[in-house]
Amino acid sequence: MTLVIVLLLLLGCLLIATSHLTKVNKAAIAVFVGTVGWVLYICYGTDFVMSQHPHEYMEFLAGESPSSKAVKHFICDNIFLKYVGKAAAIVLFLLATMSIIEILNNNGCFDFVSEWIRTRNSKRLLWSITLATFIISANLDNLTTTTMMLTIMHNIVQSRRQRMVIGCAIVLAANAGGCFTVIGDPAGIILWDNGAVTATNFSAFLALPAIVAWVVPTLMLGRSLPERLDAEWPAAPYRGDDTNLNRWQRIVMLIVGIGGLWFIPTFHNITKLSPFLGALCVLSVLWVVNEIFNHKLMNADQMILRKVPRTLQYGSIQLMLFVMGVMLAMGAVQETGILGMASEWIDYNIHNIWALGAFAGLLSGIFDAFTVMMTGLSMYPIVETWQLNMWVDADYMANFVQNGAFWKVLAFSTAVGGCLLCFTNPSGLALMKMERMRVGWYLKNCTGSVFVGWLLGLAVLWLEYYLIY
């Protein structure tokens, strides 16, 4: 049955990687694999439980005779709910942050970006919009940030080819920006929530590699743009009966929303509660501020007529379901014990986290980046510092302690490596749909630049650890 579950996961990964061809939604595939994986697991639960959790199961029985019903209850209460809780915490965090950006966007708080990039100079527009993307994605969800920036760019730049070039730079900036903070990408959120990294240490090491991975490819892509763009600036977007907020009110809401997200790591360190609770707290405060500022619109007649954009919301729901499905699927595979065996083989035959990170990055360019990251995370438990003396090769195992090198290499390689092809990350898929971009065009015009930036960023990360340790 272990082989069946593993084959199911591999088939799911293949379908996710080819979703741009099959037109089957990635979220649907992930949810299907996750649910079916656990159904198969519980059907043969006795074998898995006795091999992975014999002592816990005996304690659960408390002297009673083993039975299929008891095994199922043990799996549901002691194994399955653990993975559901972890997945739910990440989904709730994403729900809160995506709701925050929705509120900010609906109130015109990001209209400052359109004002800032108002130029026909191709280089200035390219760097302005990618810098804004890089900064915003470090604090908010990558997909939502990318979609918002692509929409702004699409309305300004008239040439489809120029939009595709700038769009590629936006996708890369979103993924690179999101990977150097614990709140900017689902991978960072999971690593942080599991205790693999701390917010300050994670950002301190990944900031420079992320900048390199963004700047170098953007320089290379900018060479294909003409000096002057065919651009026009449409009127401010209509938001239903629209917001009546003045400039300072929008600034206040932006500070409350973004500043609140910056406070979440501090909230977590003080309370030790899951980060999603801090995100929900920020959302509630921003929600109250939104209703105070828009109190004139808060009556029945006007609110019924008010149109809220659903494009981002629909994409957000898909992302949350996708994350939930992948985490549940990896949980089922992990409980079979096959990932532990794979990690032992890798440790014996490869024994180098940098080679493993490079391989993970290449896989992320073929398969889904988040799935590859979750696979790497599921293969290795977090090693406590006091346990290092128990290992023969303590120096190697030090890479897997809290703030160890492996977690940062994995997060960086999967995030940036996922941009090697456009269909292995949600941001790239958004670009493909919006600009009707073909994979062949991306491979010819963008993959090489991303590859160079990824390798240089990985080299910078290695140099940081070499100089410090």
pLDDT mean over 90-116: 80
Are 166 and 153 contacting, i.e. CB atoms less than 8 angstroms apart? Answer: yes
Q: Which residue has the tokens 């405060």?
A: 285
Using CA atoms, how far apart are residues 70 and 234, in angstroms rounded to an integer?
64
Model pTM score: 0.83
Using CA atoms, how far apart are residues 207 and 213, in angstroms rounded to an integer?
10
pLDDT mean over 248-252: 85
pLDDT mean over 251-256: 87
Going by the DSSP 8-state scheme, the letter that residue 238 receives in this structure is P
Give yes or no for residue 298 having a pLDDT over 60. no
Amino acid found at 230:
D
Are 209 and 460 contacting, i.e. CB atoms less than 8 angstroms apart? Answer: yes
- The mean pLDDT value of the chain amounts to 82
Using CA atoms, how far apart are residues 332 and 34, in angstroms rounded to an integer?
8
pLDDT mean over 108-116: 74
Distance of CA 385 to CAs 250, 395, 399, 400, Å?
46, 11, 10, 9
End-to-end CA distance of the chain: 44
Going by the DSSP 8-state scheme, the letter that residue 297 receives in this structure is G
Going by the DSSP 8-state scheme, the letter that residue 368 receives in this structure is -
Give yes or no for residue 323 having a pLDDT over 60. yes
Using CA atoms, how far apart are residues 6 and 329, in angstroms rounded to an integer?
10
Return the pLDDT at 303.
43
Going by the DSSP 8-state scheme, the letter that residue 121 receives in this structure is B
Domain ranges of the chain: 98-194+223-305
Give yes or no for residue 125 having a pLDDT over 80. yes
- Go through the chain and tell me how many residues it has: 469
- Comparing CA positions, the residue from 109, 108, 116 lying closest to residue 132 is 116
Return the pLDDT at 305.
41
Q: Which pairs with CB-CB distance under 8 Å and at least 24 residues apart come from 116-122? A: 117/152, 117/156, 118/233, 120/228, 120/229, 120/231, 121/227, 121/228, 121/229, 122/162, 122/222, 122/225, 122/226, 122/227, 122/228, 122/229
pLDDT mean over 369-375: 83
At residue 73, what are phi and psi to the nearest 5 degrees? -65, -40
For 180-227, what is each residue's pLDDT tens digit? 888 888 888 888 888 888 888 898 899 999 999 999 999 998 888 888
Using CA atoms, how far apart are residues 254 and 103, in angstroms rounded to an integer?
10
Using CA atoms, how far apart are residues 266 and 380, in angstroms rounded to an integer?
27
What the block records as the tokens of 301 is 């007649």
What the block records as the tokens of 35 is 């649910």
Q: Outline where DSSP puts E strands in 298-359.
A: none
| Contact residues for 416 (Cβ-Cβ < 8 A; gap 6+) | 172, 175, 176, 179, 210, 213, 361, 450, 453, 454, 457
Q: What are 401's strand-pairing partners?
A: 383
Using CA atoms, how far apart are residues 135 and 257, in angstroms rounded to an integer?
14
Query: How large a percentage of the chain has pLDDT more than 70?
Result: 92
Give the helix/strand (H/E) hosting 65: none
| pLDDT confidence band for 333 (50 / 70 / 90) | confident
Give yes or no for residue 304 having a pLDDT over 70. no
For 385-439, what is each residue's pLDDT tens digit? 777 777 767 788 888 888 888 999 999 998 888 888 877 777 887 788 788 888 8
For 427-452, what is each residue's pLDDT tens digit? 887 788 788 888 888 888 888 899 99
Helix (H, G, I), strand (E, B) or coil at 231: strand
Return the pLDDT at 210.
92
